[in-house]
Structure 1
Amino acid sequence: MSMHQRRVYRPNVWDAEFGSRLAGAEDEVIHVEEGVLISADNAVLVEAIVEEWAAKPPVPQLNQIWSDRREYRPDSASASVLQINFHAPVTGAASLLHGKNVFTSAGNNQSRDHSWTVSISVEVRDEMLDDPRLEENLLHSLNSWKTALATSCREVSKEVADHRDEMRSKVAVLLDRRRRRVEIARSATVAADINLERVLPGEVMHIPVSREIINLEQIEQSAANGVPEYRLTEAIAQSLLATITSFGKALERLPRTASRIAGEDEESIRDVLLFLLNANWRGLATGETFIGEGKSDILLR
């Protein structure tokens, strides 16, 4: 899925702006690359877009609460007051907790990574110092706040869940309609024997077929020259991907041939690709190969 600059701020900044989030998700559907749209599972694309644009449930990190203190004088005639501030990190859409009385108006701050810190303050004045239950009352206030914060997050999470379900439903419909439009357009283009990509006059699409050598001698020689083994592996992988990419682009420029291959089955396309890979890699590429408890479509050891 391509990333694009259509909005200045990441969606996590707009916690309560469900309408803006939904508009962003709908806009994202238009920008899904056609190749991804055609090949990827619709449900996977839907979840990816919802995860990118939808609000996330607020989750209080109660095991990470910290505190700080400050002393101040309300006025010149008053004794100093000790203010104790408690701070709790909250992930997700924490600003939706407004109106839940779980933080002071000045105590809700968002950091650059879009995590929130929800804070509340209690004060200790001189007239409270002789109260034998002062410490107990402070602990009670803290525990009551933690309980209220957790309860409020659960309540807000229901609202967020409804918002995510609505987005999921709308995005699924929009993706399905766009996929159908693209499939019809591609099918008509191929039927008319028109290239799916522009080809300039005299331009020929080459698929690199130059025999590559992979053996222990080459690895040992590279190691002796100070080249790490992983560097050699990366070079091999990049060469392999370049061949596969060229194969895909060649099919786009030869729609009639591509349609014949596509009319067979997935294995036929894989076998043609294996033919090209083995021309490069001396028969080292195999298909339907077991690895441990799984199986790979194409394997180059």
Structure 2
Amino acid sequence: MARRHKPVDFLAQLEENLRQALRRCEESPSDQVRADPGAVIAGLCAEFELEPIEFDFDSVTRSSVEETPVWDFQGGVNTELHGQLIWFRYPFRGSAPLLRHAARTSHGGWTGNDVHDGYVEVNLRGHQLDQPSITRFLESKRVEIERFVSAPNETARQYNERLYVQVENLITKRKRNLDHIAGLDAELTVPLFPADPARRVDIPLARTEVRIVDRDDRREPSLGQDIYEDVLRTLTSFGLAMERLPLTAGKLQEPEIRDLALFVLNANYEGAAAGEVFHGAGKTDIRLTYRDRDAFIAEFKYWDGPKSVAGALDQVCSYTVWRNTKSALVVLVRDVKATTVIAGIDFTIKGHRQFQSVDKPISVEEPGAYVLRSNSDPDRLISLAVIAVVVPRPTRVVEAGAAAKT
């Protein structure tokens, strides 16, 4: 009744599944391997294990009874009789490819085409079927299935044991090597050469002085464009650093991420007088205030649909600002495709009631540049840079995707 499945080389597929698991061991983030190797091992084994077969005999279903010809040998003569046909589906949990392979390679009455994703289909046909004969058939089929699954489940047990041993061995070796590297790095007296500027978040000994430009004419003060661009580079590098440390970053909420960014900014910049130039306000924002007005505003928000960005824009536009205030919106992305979020951010900003113009739409690779109007005065414009930061989840305990589970 159901579609047929093409034969596949299950054993070769199983070996490829194991190779993928070992490749993932090498690709697992180093901070996760060092901090919690047991969780990495458990996550990889759960993803690539071969799930044993378990039938649910209490949930068997059937088709309608159909008319079908049956043949009977009576007195040496093959006689066609009017008969009945019923299909039964036995649901199961576990690896369908494993059960299908066992059916194809066994010498029983099953074939690989009897096994489908999530159920096995068998039929009963006969002349003058009745309830007692159907009950006997179902009871005998249950005994047959319970006996049959013991062999594929032993295959699953042996493979899973092999998978665990090899994954544990490789992760343990990586952790040992990473711990050695960390210790060696700490012991060496030779200075480190600088990281690539694109990946660096500098903590300088001499901090850059932030000056608010006072105009000689009637124009109002503003944060210098060169300093603004440098602040944006620092925030972008800070975001890249978070992406490379998913185990650490994944535990942080918006206020904690704001506080870390505040630490980095104040380590890089200082005001005309010594001391902090940037300060926190509320739970998720950073502000640089000059003469009781904000010259720079930064907001940190996890993406939770367009409403999260709209709320951040409302907040930015509500501050008391100079005529040319600079701002940044850092959107933290988790468990959503980055391209989906990028499109949502751009659409939400352009649809906001205080939207003025766009200089450069946001993309996956680069921040966007937009202009908003202040709530208090439409002539006071706010330059808005939008930075998307992907915050990966640490390795999960259970994930779909193993080849032998499909």
TM-score by length of 2: 0.42
1:180–1:33 Cα change, 3 Å: same
CA drift at 1:139 = 0.8
Deviations 1:29-63 (A, max 9, x none): 011011111111x3322221111112111111212
The alignment partner of 1:194 has SS state of: coil
Structure 1 residues 57 and 88: alpha-carbon distance in aligned structure 2, compared to 1, 3 A threshold: same
Instruction: State the partner residue of 2:63.
Output: 68
Match for residue 295 of structure 1? none
State the one-letter code of the partner of 1:65: V
Report the CA distance shift for 1:205/1:121 in structure 2 as closer, same or farther (over 3 A). Answer: farther
CA drift of 1:15 comes to 6.3
Instruction: Tell me how far 1:176 sits from its aligned partner.
Output: 1.3
Higher strand share: 2
Find the aligned partners of 2:155 and 2:123 in 1 and give their Cα distance: 28
CA deviation after TM superposition for structure 1 residue 135, in Å? 2.9
Give the superposed CA RMSD. Answer: 3.8
Give the aligned partner of residue 100 of structure 2: 95
Q: Name the structure 1 match of 2:88.
A: 86
| Structure 1 position 154, deviation (Å) | 3.6
Please tell me whether the aligned partners of residues 70 and 125 of structure 2 are also in contact (alpha carbons under 8 angstroms): no
- Distance in 2, matches of 1:241 and 1:82, equals 69
Distance 2:194 2:84 in 1: 72
Compared CA separation, residues 203 and 245, structure 1 to 2 (3 A): closer
Deviations 1:153-180 (A, max 9, x none): 2443222111111111111111111222
- CA deviation string 1:172-194 (max 9, x = no partner): 11111122233333444453443
Give the SS at the match of 1:57. coil
Mapped partners of 1:150, 1:172: distance in 2: 32
How many Å separate the matches in 1 of 2:124 and 2:260? 64
> Which digits, 9 at most, give the CA deviation of each residue in 1:220-251, with x for residues without a partner?
xxxxxxxxxxxxxxxx942324435887x99x
Q: Which has the higher helix share?
A: 1
Q: 1:121 to 1:79 in 2, by over 3 A?
A: same
Q: 1:200 to 1:47 in 2, by over 3 A?
A: closer
For structure 1, the 5+ residue unaligned runs are: 1-12, 111-115, 207-235, 251-278, 283-301
Question: 2:51 pairs with 48, 51, 56, which one?
Answer: 56
Aligned counterpart, 1:147:
143
- Work out the CA distance in 1 between the residues paired with 2:262 and 2:100: 49
Instruction: Name which structure has the greater RCO, CA cutoff 8 Å, separation 6+.
Output: 2
Distance in 1 of aligned mates of 2:150 and 2:194 = 50
Matches within 5 A, 1:10-29: 17-29=13-25
The count of residues paired between Structure 1 and Structure 2 equals 200
Q: How does 1:115-154 map to 2 (within 5 A)?
A: 116-125=118-127, 129=128, 134-154=130-150
Shift of residue 200 of structure 1? Answer: 4.7
The 1:156–1:138 alpha-carbon spacing in structure 2 relative to 1, beyond 3 Å, is same
Q: CA deviation at 1:25?
A: 1.1
Normalising by structure 1, what TM-score? 0.55
Give the partner amino acid of 1:48.
G
CA contact (8 A) 1:102 1:120 kept: no
CA gap 1:178/1:79 in 2 versus in 1, 3 angstroms = same
Matched AA of 2:255: S
C-alpha deviation, 1:141, in angstroms: 1.1
Q: Percent identity?
A: 10
Distance change (3 Å), C-alpha of 1:100 and 1:160 = farther
Secondary structure at 2:192's aligned position in 1? coil
Matching residue of 1:109: 116
